[in-house]
Structure 1
Amino acid sequence: MGRLHWNFADRSRWSGPWLAVGVIALAGCLHALWWRDALLTQRQDMVERAARLARRAAMQQRPAAPAVPAALETVFAEMHYPWMDMLDSLRAATPAGVDLLTLEPDSGAIRRVHIRGVADQTQSVFELVTALHQDPAWSSVQLVSQARNGDASPPPGQHSIAPLPGGPGSSGALPPTLSFSLLAEWRGL
């Protein structure tokens, strides 16, 4: 004879395999939540470290100095010339009959100057060049140009200045008949 099923009660849904699946699913969800929290904590630590490094780098970097325009570079270069020493040396070397009109820095080299003036004789210009060659404060003195003229006015386009006060050529008994230009390098003393 066969077995009779006299128990009509429903089986419990929480029994057996369903219970195991539920426990595994709950464990998986808890693990995912723990992993998410760990990743968020790591992300926050990385963001804080990057912010600290950025602040430290910003403090270490000094602001770059603005570039100096080329026009100001020439002005600053001219300011480095020892003008008073040059003028005193030129006064001492200038012979009688020579009037120096301009003294200006050369744009191509530091401490090189153009000297323009007028003289009553060619020999006076050569005496000036010789005197500057003998002065240890000057080097590479060159006569760039000389031209005969009938009056004491400088060439067109040149701004003349008064002769050096107290210089040997400031008396000017004869009108100057020779314009000249020198290029010299100042070494200093």
Structure 2
Amino acid sequence: MSIRIDFSRTRRHTPWPWLVALALAGWAAWLGLQYRDTQAELLRVRGESARVAAAQARRAQAAHPEPIRVAPERVRAINAAIGQLNVPWLDLTEALEAVRPEGITLLAMQPDATHSTLLIVAEADRAEMLADYAQALAARPPFRRYTPVKQNQVTALGKPRLQLSFELEWAS
């Protein structure tokens, strides 16, 4: 009986290294396809984002149009009108009525807000009454001083009366 010993290695063909290589190649191919799909999706999202941003910009521009240019003289006229509306009527009328004696009739009040003056036209029987009234107003806040403008003699109901126009300056 003889035993035969073979020291050379026998070659067996095992398929597992090839299967591992094939699996790795398939996995790499799948990763490549996923990368391509992700890049395509990224490009689509960026394009959509740009379209949305452009639409928002158009809506914002439509919502906020260019400011209207107004001529300087029109701005001055608007500011003057607003100034006339901001006349402190309550203070002025309270001061006018507080010192008005019997026998004096207020015919007109015309404010000038730009100069803080009030033109008063008053009527009375005597000039001294009108002068005293104007001086009393100038001494009472919110007024500071008065300036006589015009004096007329008028006839009302067959009776001669005196009209005095004067400006009162008020403290702003």
> So what's the TM-score if we normalise by structure 1?
0.49
Q: 1:67 aligns with which of 70, 84, 95?
A: 70
Partners of 1:144 and 1:180 lie apart in 2 by 8
Partners of 1:114 and 1:66 lie apart in 2 by 35
Structure 2: 5+ residue runs without aligned partners?
Answer: 1-56
1:84 corresponds to? 90
Which has a greater percent of strand?
Answer: 2
Partners of 1:125 and 1:65 lie apart in 2 by 50
Count of residue pairs the alignment pairs up: 111
Identity %: 23
Is residue 136 of structure 1 aligned with residue 145 of structure 2?
Answer: no
Instruction: Pick the structure with greater CA Rg.
Output: 2
4+ residue stretches of structure 1 with deviation over 6 A?
A: none
Q: Quote the RMSD (CA, aligned, Å).
A: 3.2
Alpha-carbon spacing, 1:65–1:122, altered in 2? closer, same or farther (3 Å): same
Q: Secondary structure at the match of 1:114?
A: strand
2:115 corresponds to? 110
TM superposition shift of 1:98? 0.8
What letter matches 2:151 in structure 1? Q
Q: Report if aligned partners of 2:122, 2:130 keep a CA contact under 8 Å in 1.
A: no
Alpha-carbon spacing, 1:176–1:100, altered in 2? closer, same or farther (3 Å): farther
Q: Secondary structure at the match of 1:149?
A: strand
Report which structure shows greater RCO (CA 8 Å, sep ≥6): 1
Q: Secondary structure at the match of 2:152?
A: strand
2:13 corresponds to? none
2:166 corresponds to? 182
Alpha-carbon spacing, 1:84–1:136, altered in 2? closer, same or farther (3 Å): closer
TM superposition shift of 1:113? 1.2
TM superposition shift of 1:64? 4.3
